[in-house]
Structure 1
Amino acid sequence: MAGIARLAVEEQSTIDRQRLNQMVEALGEASAARIISAALEQLRLALNRTEAAIARGDLVAVACDADRISRLAWQLGLVSMAAVAIDVGTCAERRDAGGLAATSARLRRIGDSSLTRICDRPDPAAG
């Protein structure tokens, strides 16, 4: 019998850095930093609420939180995160348990990766 292979799951998150730079240019560094920070916190909270809603089987809440995540992520240029959140919402609306399990796990991976990458972004003023 063949051995069991353990596959490492790595997600590549896409961030539209131009969108972030446009925010900084339009709002100024300090205002943009405050808005981005608040939006990131809202994303973290929405991710946690989505997982809790999935655990209790509240698919309406899952769809609402996934929509909130996709809108916030899109505004911040977190392209991959926005797309996967839409997929989570679609699975919840269709009551697709298997799809929801897969897409919500992917949303957590992409979300964690995206939030880490955006928090580690270089200072736009540095060029």
Structure 2
Amino acid sequence: MGADDAWAAGENVEQVTLLKQNEYVRLDASQLTALYHQLGEADAEDIVCRALEELAARLSHAERCYREGRLADMRKSSRSLIAIADQIGMRLLAQVAGDVTGCIDSGDHGALAATFARLLRIGERSLCEIWDLQDLPF
């Protein structure tokens, strides 16, 4: 008897569907290339490394603020992610950080939960993606 048959027969059927959240991120390589050409390899690498450290710290801080219900502090952390992410070509991360800020401003807690979870996924994948690019010459 399939799940549809059990449902039709009035049986109590529990079915859980697990949705795999997979975010496709793509870094703006032209932004990184411009940074390397403008600053030189050593200075650009320094900027990128500091930006990655800041992104990781601010994502972590925003997550802590979210758990503690400190939305004003979470908003500050999320807002600061935008400029940092843009600087090193993480356009999607910057966009979703802006979406999180908008959810906080609108007071939509359901949308905030979903959008913030997306920000964390994209942040993690973006950080991994840029480390994969570290061996490429710019």
Query: What's the TM-score bracket when you normalise by the shorter of the two chains?
Result: over 0.9
| Superposition pairs of residues 1-127 of structure 1, within 5 angstroms | 1=13, 3-125=15-137
Tell me the amino acid that sits aligned with residue 56 of structure 2.
Answer: R
Q: Deviations over 1:70-110 (max 9, x none)?
A: 11001111011000000111111222110110011000000
Q: Which runs of 4+ in 1 moved over 3 A?
A: none
Number of corresponding residues? 126
What RMSD, in angstroms, separates the aligned Cα atoms of the two structures? 1.4
Is the contact between residue 81 and residue 110 of structure 1 (CA under 8 Å) also seen in structure 2?
Answer: yes
Quickly say closer, same or farther: Cα 1:97–1:9, change in 2 above 3 A: same
CA distance in 2, matches of 1:11, 1:19: 21
| Higher helix content, 1 or 2 | 1
Quickly say closer, same or farther: Cα 1:2–1:115, change in 2 above 3 A: same
Structure (1 or 2) with the larger CA radius of gyration: 2
Q: Please, which runs of 5 or more residues in structure 1 have no aligned partner?
A: none
Q: Please, which runs of 5 or more residues in structure 2 have no aligned partner?
A: 1-12
Is the contact between residue 50 and residue 66 of structure 1 (CA under 8 Å) also seen in structure 2?
Answer: yes
Deviation, 1:5, is: 2.4
- Alignment identity in percent? 35
CA distance in 2, matches of 1:101, 1:7: 16
TM superposition score normalised by structure 1: 0.93
Is the contact between residue 60 and residue 93 of structure 1 (CA under 8 Å) also seen in structure 2?
Answer: no
